[in-house]
Structure 1
Amino acid sequence: MVLLLLSVVALSLGLGIAPVAAQNNTKHLDYASYRGYDQANGVSFWKGMRYAAAPTGSLRFAGPQDPDVEVEVQDATTDGARCIATSTYPIPSTQSEDCLFLDVFAPTNATDLPVYFFIQGGGYNSLSNADYDGTGLIEASGYNIVVVTFNYRVGPYGFLASQEVEESGSLNNGLKDMIKALQWVQKYIHAFGGDPGHVTIGGDSAGAGAITLLLTSYDGSGKLDNLFHAAAAESQSFGPQLTVSQSQFQYDNLTERTGCADASNTLQCLRGLDIDTLQQQNIATPFPNGVDAPLYPYSPTIDHDLVSDYTYALFGAGRFMKIPVIFGDDTNEGTIFTPHSTSSVAEADVFLRDNFPAYTDSQLATINSLYMSQPDAVVYPNAGTYWRGVSNAYGEIRYICPGIYISTAYNNFSTSSSSDFVPSWNYHYAVLDDSAITSGYGTQHTIEINAIWGPEYVSGSAPASYSTTNAAIVPVMQGYWTSFIRAYDPNTYRAPGSPEWRPWGADKQRLFIRTNETQMETAEEAQLERCDVVQGMAVLLEQ
Structure 2
Amino acid sequence: MTSLVNTNNNDFIAVVIQYRLGAFGFLSSDEVFRNGVVNAGILDQHFALQWVQSYISMFGGNASQVTIGGESAGAGSVMLQDLAYGGTQGTSLFRNTFSASPYLPMQYGYKDFVPSQSYYAFATAAGCPPTYAYGNSSQSIFRCLVAASSQKLQNASFVVSASGVFGTWGFLPVTDGVFIQQLPSQQLLQKQLNGQHLLVGNDANEGPLFTPQNITTEADLLAWLRLTFPLFTNDDIAKVLLYYPSTNASVDPMALDFATNGISGPTALNESQVGSGQQQRADNIYAETSFVCPSYWMAEAYSDRGRASYRYQYSVPLGTHGTDLTAYFGPVLPNQPADFERAFMQILGNFIVRDNPSISADVANGARASNPSAPNPATNWPPYSNFAPYQINLNTTGGTPYQAQPLGAPFNVTQYANATNDITLVNAYTWEGGRGYRCDFWRSVAALVPE
SS of 1:483 mapped into structure 2:
helix
1:237 corresponds to which of 87, 96, 103: 103
Cα deviation for residue 343 of structure 1 reads 2.2
2:37 corresponds to which of 170, 192, 196: 170
Is residue 528 from structure 1 mapped to residue 433 from structure 2 by the alignment?
Answer: no
* Structure 1 residues 428 and 375: CA distance shift in structure 2, 3 A: farther
CA distance in 2, matches of 1:239, 1:429: 21
Aligned match of 1:451: 327
CA distance in 1, matches of 2:388, 2:252: 32
Letter in 1 for 2:350: S
2:149 corresponds to which of 260, 263, 274: 274
Asked if the contact 2:67–2:95 (Cα under 8 Å) also holds between the matched residues in 1, the reply is yes
CA distance in 2, matches of 1:148, 1:155: 23
Asked if the contact 1:345–1:368 (Cα under 8 Å) also holds between the matched residues in 2, the reply is no
Deviations 1:180-229, CA, capped at 9 Å, x for gaps: 1111111222222222221100111111111111111111112x631111
CA distance in 2, matches of 1:213, 1:359: 25
1:198 corresponds to which of 61, 65, 69: 65
Aligned match of 1:15: none
Letter in 1 for 2:36: G
Asked if the contact 1:372–1:386 (Cα under 8 Å) also holds between the matched residues in 2, the reply is no
Asked if the contact 1:376–1:389 (Cα under 8 Å) also holds between the matched residues in 2, the reply is no
Cα deviation for residue 451 of structure 1 reads 0.6
Letter in 1 for 2:288: E
CA distance in 2, matches of 1:178, 1:169: 17
Aligned match of 1:511: 392
Letter in 2 for 1:212: M
1:361 corresponds to which of 234, 238, 248: 234
SS of 2:64 mapped into structure 1:
strand
Cα deviation for residue 349 of structure 1 reads 3.9
Cα deviation for residue 313 of structure 1 reads 0.9
Is residue 463 from structure 1 mapped to residue 344 from structure 2 by the alignment?
Answer: no
Aligned match of 1:502: 382
Percentage of identical aligned residues: 26
* Structure 1 residues 520 and 181: CA distance shift in structure 2, 3 A: same
Deviations 1:460-513, CA, capped at 9 Å, x for gaps: xx63323xxx33210010010001111111126786345322111212111011
Letter in 1 for 2:323: I
CA distance in 2, matches of 1:198, 1:493: 23
Is residue 398 from structure 1 mapped to residue 283 from structure 2 by the alignment?
Answer: no
SS of 2:312 mapped into structure 1:
strand
CA distance in 1, matches of 2:252, 2:356: 40
Asked if the contact 1:140–1:478 (Cα under 8 Å) also holds between the matched residues in 2, the reply is yes
Task: Report the structure, 1 or 2, having the larger helix content.
Answer: 2
* Structure 1 residues 353 and 307: CA distance shift in structure 2, 3 A: farther
Aligned match of 2:372: none
Asked if the contact 1:286–1:292 (Cα under 8 Å) also holds between the matched residues in 2, the reply is no
Cα deviation for residue 345 of structure 1 reads 3.1
Is residue 476 from structure 1 mapped to residue 343 from structure 2 by the alignment?
Answer: yes
1:158 corresponds to which of 11, 15, 25: 25
1:317 corresponds to which of 176, 181, 190: 190
Asked if the contact 1:284–1:294 (Cα under 8 Å) also holds between the matched residues in 2, the reply is no
Query: Which runs of 5 or more residues in structure 1 are unaligned?
Result: 1-133, 433-441, 456-461
Asked if the contact 2:350–2:357 (Cα under 8 Å) also holds between the matched residues in 1, the reply is yes
CA distance in 2, matches of 1:148, 1:514: 29
Deviations 1:507-527, CA, capped at 9 Å, x for gaps: 211101112210211125222
CA distance in 2, matches of 1:384, 1:464: 25
Cα deviation for residue 300 of structure 1 reads 0.7
CA distance in 1, matches of 2:146, 2:231: 32
Aligned match of 2:16: 149
Deviations 1:287-345, CA, capped at 9 Å, x for gaps: 9xx98355222111100000001001111112112501111111111122111112233
CA distance in 2, matches of 1:218, 1:364: 34
Deviations 1:415-444, CA, capped at 9 Å, x for gaps: xx5xxx311101111111xxxxxxxxx311
CA distance in 2, matches of 1:285, 1:365: 32
Is residue 387 from structure 1 mapped to residue 279 from structure 2 by the alignment?
Answer: yes
Asked if the contact 1:502–1:520 (Cα under 8 Å) also holds between the matched residues in 2, the reply is no
Aligned match of 2:136: none
CA distance in 2, matches of 1:311, 1:364: 22
CA distance in 2, matches of 1:291, 1:344: 24
CA distance in 2, matches of 1:327, 1:476: 16
CA distance in 2, matches of 1:183, 1:303: 20
Aligned match of 2:409: none
Query: How do residues 21-36 of structure 1 correspond to structure 2 at under 5 angstroms?
Result: none
Is residue 423 from structure 1 mapped to residue 299 from structure 2 by the alignment?
Answer: no
Aligned match of 1:181: 48
Letter in 1 for 2:33: E
- CA root-mean-square deviation: 2.5
Q: Which moved more, 1:475-484 or 1:443-452?
A: 443-452
* Structure 1 residues 299 and 407: CA distance shift in structure 2, 3 A: same
Letter in 2 for 1:404: Y
Letter in 1 for 2:186: A
SS of 2:438 mapped into structure 1:
helix
SS of 2:65 mapped into structure 1:
strand
Is residue 540 from structure 1 mapped to residue 432 from structure 2 by the alignment?
Answer: no
Q: Which moved more, 1:247-256 or 1:368-377?
A: 368-377
Asked if the contact 2:20–2:40 (Cα under 8 Å) also holds between the matched residues in 1, the reply is yes
SS of 2:356 mapped into structure 1:
coil
Using CA pairs below 8 Å that are at least 6 residues apart, which structure has the higher relative contact order?
Answer: 2
Cα deviation for residue 371 of structure 1 reads 2.7
Query: How do residues 294-373 of structure 1 correspond to structure 2 at under 5 angstroms?
Result: 294-371=167-244, 373=246
Q: Which moved more, 1:495-504 or 1:231-240?
A: 495-504
Asked if the contact 2:196–2:302 (Cα under 8 Å) also holds between the matched residues in 1, the reply is no
Aligned match of 2:266: none
Asked if the contact 2:122–2:160 (Cα under 8 Å) also holds between the matched residues in 1, the reply is no
Aligned match of 1:124: none
CA distance in 1, matches of 2:362, 2:36: 48
Letter in 2 for 1:173: A
Asked if the contact 1:260–1:270 (Cα under 8 Å) also holds between the matched residues in 2, the reply is yes
SS of 1:427 mapped into structure 2:
strand
